């Protein structure tokens, strides 16, 4: 009929046809005879009675975790599939079909150090067509600051990823230095493999965490204590509890007294990545845009061009740009290349000697020097943690 289909529609249709054919073949192969049907019916009756009896036993024993209602089960499924929160009251009329997220898989060479050159700059190119509708309309496309994908705001609304409260933020930040992260990059949980995701879900279930719920400070500290006790079989030290409280404050920038589920999930996802994967594997998660920003930050701090910066400068970069893209940057319109001057507490900017704190790390020889590969390894987790659009700091830098 001459009807053109987009690449996404073609893939979906092929998948549906393949599933239908497979189901039909399985049905023919496993179709039982009349006698076997009767035997299967009798056996199934016993199986059903067993299931009912087991269900009664589980009910009498009491739930080992918060009530597994249909809504709670659906929430766990969304968490497993990486689909995020999908409120039932959301109007689904005139919406596109949400994409199926495919979790990454670990490769054999992931633990090997990647070749990320400091001298060789990378060319940053965005896609030409909208990721959703695959149509090019030039200036009306909104680019992601992490990946090369671009989007129409109308397509994002129809997908349900752009609500009224975030529409203005996207249009204001997408073409600035702060930038905007698309729904792929905004969700740190999508960086986890299936095995890592199941491990996180098991931890959350064991600690009685209800998905898609907000956590107060007491909830957060109780969870951290349980996780520490399960992992080390001892009580969490007071110093770590204080650090956990600081992390809670970082996840609650508006001082609401609780942290949102998505922020908690992003924090736990990046924490798990730090525990399970080596730094070389984390470096392979960086996109060209992130590598180029990190390269500009290092070159701005390396003012004598010897290929090394001080440990204090590296730590200061972590507390500024790598910590989070603050909304206040919109008003001052600071360029990425100004990372050095922004870090006023760094040795590079402490030349006037007015502050005692600026005099301590006077020269690189008096402190540990860090080269470009070391700079990336030290900061890769904070670069990844800065991806979400939320104002929360999903990985609080150590003092």
Could you tell me if residue 235 is inside a domain? Answer: yes
In a 13 Å sphere around the CA of 31, the CA atoms on its Cβ side amount to 6
Mean pLDDT of 348-373: 52
Could you tell me if residue 20 is inside a domain? Answer: no
Could you tell me if residue 234 is inside a domain? Answer: yes
| Least confident segment among 45-49, 146-150, 154-158 | 45-49
Q: Are residues 257 and 220 in the same domain?
A: yes
Domain total of the chain: 3
Q: Are residues 298 and 376 in the same domain?
A: yes
Instruction: Give the pLDDT band of residue 165 (cuts 50, 70, 90).
Output: low
Q: Are residues 286 and 394 in the same domain?
A: yes
Question: What are 151's strand-pairing partners?
Answer: 142
Q: 3-state class of 215 per DSSP?
A: strand
In DSSP notation, 232-249 reads: HSSPPPHHHHHHHHHHHH
Decide: pTM greater than 0.85: no
Q: Are residues 202 and 272 in the same domain?
A: yes
Q: Are residues 173 and 201 in the same domain?
A: no
Report whether 169 contacts 390 (CB < 8 A): no
Q: Are residues 287 and 394 in the same domain?
A: yes
Domain extent, residue 250, equals 189-276
| Least confident segment among 138-147, 159-168, 372-381 | 159-168
CA distance 318 to 338: 14
Q: Which of 41-50, 322-331, 388-397 has the highest mean pLDDT?
A: 388-397
Mean pLDDT of 321-340: 45
Could you tell me if residue 145 is inside a domain? Answer: yes
C-alpha 95: how far from chain center:
24
* Dihedral, 47, 52, 54, 56 alpha carbons, nearest 10: -170
Instruction: Give the pLDDT band of residue 90 (cuts 50, 70, 90).
Output: very low
C-alpha 1: how far from chain center:
43
Report whether 254 contacts 80 (CB < 8 A): no
Q: 3-state class of 324 per DSSP?
A: coil
Query: What is the CATH number for 250?
Result: 1.10.238
| Alpha-carbon distances of 61 from 33, 64, 65, 72, 73, rounded to whole Å | 40, 8, 12, 20, 20
Could you tell me if residue 244 is inside a domain? Answer: yes
């Amino acid at each position: 009929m001459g009807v053109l289909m987009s690449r996404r529609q073609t893939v979906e249709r092929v998948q549906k046809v393949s599933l239908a054919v497979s189901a039909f073949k399985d049905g023919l192969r496993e179709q039982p005879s009349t006698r076997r049907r009767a035997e299967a019916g009798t056996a199934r009756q016993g199986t059903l009675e067993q299931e009912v009896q087991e269900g009664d036993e589980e009910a009498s024993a009491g739930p080992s975790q918060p009530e597994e209602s249909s809504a709670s089960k659906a929430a766990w499924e969304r968490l497993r599939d990486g689909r995020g929160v999908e409120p039932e009251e959301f109007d689904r009329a005139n919406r596109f079909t949400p994409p199926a997220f495919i979790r990454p898989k670990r490769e054999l060479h992931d633990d090997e150090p990647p070749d990320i050159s400091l001298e060789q700059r990378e060319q940053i190119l965005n896609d030409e067509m909208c990721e959703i509708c695959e149509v090019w309309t030039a200036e009306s496309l909104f680019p992601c600051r992490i990946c090369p994908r671009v989007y129409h705001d109308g397509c994002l609304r129809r997908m349900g990823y752009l609500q009224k409260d975030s529409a203005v933020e996207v249009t204001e930040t997408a073409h600035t230095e702060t930038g905007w992260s698309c729904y792929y990059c905004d969700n740190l949980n999508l960086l986890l493999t299936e095995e890592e995701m199941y491990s996180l879900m098991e931890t959350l279930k064991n600690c009685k965490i209800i998905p898609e719920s907000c956590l107060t400070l007491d909830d957060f500290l109780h969870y951290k204590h349980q996780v520490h006790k399960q992992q080390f079989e001892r009580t969490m030290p007071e110093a770590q509890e204080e650090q956990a409280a600081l992390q809670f404050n970082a996840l609650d920038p508006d001082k609401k007294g609780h942290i949102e589920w998505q922020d908690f999930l992003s924090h736990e996802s990046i924490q798990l990545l730090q525990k399970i994967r080596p730094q070389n594997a984390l470096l392979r998660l960086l996109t060209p845009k992130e590598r180029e920003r990190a390269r500009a930050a290092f070159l701005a701090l390396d003012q004598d061009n010897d290929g090394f910066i001080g440990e204090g400068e590296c730590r200061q970069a972590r507390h500024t740009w790598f910590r989070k893209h603050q909304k206040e940057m919109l008003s001052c319109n600071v360029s990425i290349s100004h990372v050095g001057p922004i870090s006023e507490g760094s040795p590079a900017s402490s030349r006037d000697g007015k502050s005692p704190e600026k005099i301590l790390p006077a020269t690189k020889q008096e402190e540990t020097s860090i080269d470009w590969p070391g700079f990336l390894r030290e900061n890769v987790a904070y670069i990844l943690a800065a991806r979400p659009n939320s104002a929360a700091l999903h990985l609080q830098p150590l003092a």
